[in-house]
Amino acid sequence: MMDFSHDPGVVVVTHPLAQHKLTLMRDARTSTGEFRTLARELSVLLGYEAMRDLPLENVEIETPLERMDAPRLAGKKLCLVSILRAGNGILDGMLDLVPSARVGHIGLFRDPETLEPVEYYLKLPDDIGRRICIVVDPMLATGHSAAAAIARLKQAGAENIVFVCLLAAPQGVACLRAAHPDVRIVTCAIDRELDGHGYIRPGLGDAGDRLFGTK
């Protein structure tokens, strides 16, 4: 298996709570409702890591006891970009952390024959070029959809982009790093392989179907 342990652009969140929740999500016996709740909880843990480098500025405030300089987030609000449809399953957890963030959506589906992404929807904030963008999608499988989504963001003017997923395949990580070496990847695990049908092994199945109970 490819080794990304020395790549500073690939961050695997090994916190015990993150690994525990991912194991529950992998379990085929986990119900749709439980899976959805776990995805939201796990996205909060991923969000902490993805937002580690947000810029801060000092502002003067008054506590109940005295005045002080205290740090707060600086600059434009974040933009969270969900790759439809499964990205919405981890979008809410990110919004729990930053309720004021702007939200964009990119609709992509993977052609079952070519495994290449096909775009069907795009809606982004007009000033996305002045915002830090966090792109969310539960799975990084072939990497083609993520690379295509990030290319569209860059066309719209985005420059500071982080990609967040629950689970990745080595091929997907390699594809995204090759296409966009400036984009940091934050995930909970990089699994063994991608099978001939484009599924991550051992994986957790189709994230969209498990989130929305469509199979």
Choosing from 102, 114, 127, 184, the catalytic residue is 114
Measured between alpha carbons, how far is 190 from 11 in angstroms, rounded to an integer? 10
Question: In the prediction, which pLDDT does 108 show?
Answer: 80
Q: Is 130 a catalytic residue?
A: no
Query: Please, are residues 90 and 40 in contact by the beta-carbon 8 Å criterion?
Result: yes
Please list, in sequence order, all residues whose beta carbon lies within 8 angstroms of the beta carbon of residue 27, skipping any fewer than 6 positions away.
Answer: none
Choosing from 27, 182, 209, 214, the catalytic residue is 209
- Residue among 164, 166, 161, 139 at smallest CA distance from 150: 161
Choosing from 131, 206, 210, 214, the catalytic residue is 206
The ranges of the chain with pLDDT < 50 are: none
This prediction's pTM? 0.90
Question: In the prediction, which pLDDT does 77 show?
Answer: 81
144 labeled binding residue:
yes
Note the CATH number of domain 10-212: 3.40.50.2020
110 labeled binding residue:
yes
139 labeled binding residue:
yes
Helix/strand/coil for 62: strand
Choosing from 23, 26, 92, 110, the catalytic residue is 110
Question: In the prediction, which pLDDT does 115 show?
Answer: 67
Largest CA distance in the chain: 66
23 labeled binding residue:
no
Query: Please, are residues 149 and 172 in contact by the beta-carbon 8 Å criterion?
Result: no
pLDDT in tens, 67-107: 999 999 887 788 999 998 888 888 988 999 999 899 999 99
Q: Is 110 a catalytic residue?
A: yes
Q: Which two tokens stand for residue 85?
A: 């449809």
Q: Which two tokens stand for residue 202?
A: 């051992």
Pairing mode, if any, of strands 160-164 and 79-84? unpaired
Q: Is 210 a catalytic residue?
A: no
Amino acid at 137: D
Question: In the prediction, which pLDDT does 81 show?
Answer: 95
145 labeled binding residue:
yes
Q: Is 206 a catalytic residue?
A: yes
Query: Please, are residues 162 and 187 in contact by the beta-carbon 8 Å criterion?
Result: no
Please list, in sequence order, all residues whose beta carbon lies within 8 angstroms of the beta carbon of residue 68, skipping any fewer than 6 positions away.
Answer: 60, 61, 62
**Any idea where the domains of the chain sit in the sequence?**
10-212
**Per DSSP, what are the bridge partners of residue 106?**
83, 122
85 labeled binding residue:
yes
